[in-house]
A and B are shown apart, each in its own frame.
Chain A
Amino acid sequence: MRNGRRRTAVGVVGVGQTRYGRRDEVSTPDLVFEAVTAALAHARLDRAEIGAVFFASAPDALIGVNEPDQWCAGAAGAVGKPYLRISTGGSTGSSAAIAAYYAVASGRCEVALAVAVERANESRAVQLLMNTNFDPIYEREFAINAISCYALATADHMVRYGTTEEQLAKISVRNHRNALRNPYAHLKLDITVDDVLRSRMLCWPVKLLDTCPRSDGACAIVIASGARARDLRPKPAWVQGLQSFSDGYFLGDREILSYRDHLALAAQEAYRQADVIDPLKEIDVAELQNPFTISEAMAVEALGFCEVGGAGAFVDAGLPEMAGELPINPSGGVLSSNPVGATSLVRVAEAALQVMGEADARQVRGVRRALAQCSGGAIQFGTVVILGDEPIGG
């Protein structure tokens, strides 16, 4: 191992997802229960064998129940067990996965569960509540919210690199097309670049089809130590690299509105752990957290799939298409389904399914290594998880 540190083999052995979208027929704890029971069944495990449970959801005001970890503890399978809520904004689900990894890698338990949930359709003022994530002293008055924040980043990318609305629209078209093959996806839209360009302008240059839907849903994954993982599955998704980095809070402190100062650093470290030199060649499929088309453009640059400023050309060249060099978001990504607090755990779950060869109609052939990228806060948190078909360091 290049990094010289001894690492324990840890693998993803179970994945559970709910259908995303309007889920009026179930309560929020019901959604959590649905994902956890699906993950346990997939791992062929009983709840008794889970050593610790890590819970994630995003802004409390979105679910509308303060500290919903309390509400959902029973549904998460946490009764009688160690239980922590983890939170890093939109990347909170992947942070729960990291916490579960730490619990297993440290030897504290053999099997840990991460579960994340969102109820995104019940608030009547979503961007108002997103605005309350911003600093009340200096920034909140300007009505900055999730959409206008990424609109600022979109305009910044257009100014610096000449990225066009057409190039970004292609990202939307591909993600929505891929979602047609995902039974869990919320929006299933067969759309064209023109449809995206003609969709309603929200915060220039961000249009409706540059954005994600609000989805209810939950996701859970089971993580196990090397020995247990080999018992449970012929083909676990082994954790080869895993890193998250934080930036500061204020948007105006970033020299560039990009993922350069957090996600790119996390990627470098995760690649070092996983012995990845040329990510474009060595990663077989990627699940990126793209609530906006610009998020995917920023991510492919920070992950080193193309040069900085080259996302538009990367898209034009068709590299992220299903038949391209590096298929991105066979699931349809966040643009087709955004259960906000769960959405980054979905990225990890989909990457795991790709490595296991169990992604059904959205499976990319011959995946040996998959990457999940997650982002949270106002362009503040970045996570990279690399899963592969063989363990590293175990």
Chain B
Amino acid sequence: MHRTTSVIGLVVAALGGWGAALAAKPPSGDLVVFEAASLKEAFAALAVRFEKDHPGAHVVTNTAGSQELRAQIEHGAIADVFASADQRHMSALATEGLVVGPALFACNEPVVVVRSGLAGSLKTFADLPRAERIVVGAPEVPIGAYTLQIFQKAGARYGADFTTRLQAKVVSRELNVRQVLAKVVLGEADAGIVYRSDALAAKGKGKETIAVVPIPPDLNVTAAYPIAALKAAPRPELARAFVDLVRSPAGATVLREAGFVPCPAP
């Protein structure tokens, strides 16, 4: 009985110690970057470069939808850098005084992705109603809002009937852009609308499972990506250095390779 008690005591003590270790701050070299889902691959490449330039520094990323990251920051999450896929969320944090000096660093444009078997019959945006199942983003998330705008512009150009036919083929409104992409890559959906960077990321995985169909520029919209250091950043110097790297010509090259485009002059 006494042995049992002491074993339980040991376990409790061990758990307590482990919990305390987990609760402690991350090592001093860690730079915490909150990044929008579409930035995952590009920022992974930039993080490698950053760690090489700053010996001892270690980049820890938290990848999620911009709105989720914003909510986490508003509820007190500790981070150094925030990169958003949507200016709305960055502006909100700036108004609340949680970030310093947000700046645009890249732009992204929506494209149509088509599952491989259909690449022959679905070659231009005007062919899109031929798809049997189209998957788009929910209107509540940025890619879904952009898709709605594109469909509306297309209606103005090809006739309102075009939009109606498109909407009739929509079988799902996904909650983030990677879920739209996944449905097309898996072949469940015939076509979807995602960012060019996401399409490239999927193609970069080796398998030619999808084809990319550009959207005519006059129908398309541009998603602008702002980045900022957090006001409460535990490592402000590293945070600023990371933001500088992302906005540098070297950063622009990495982002361009990942499918991002320079932002059009305002």
A and B: real partners?
Answer: no
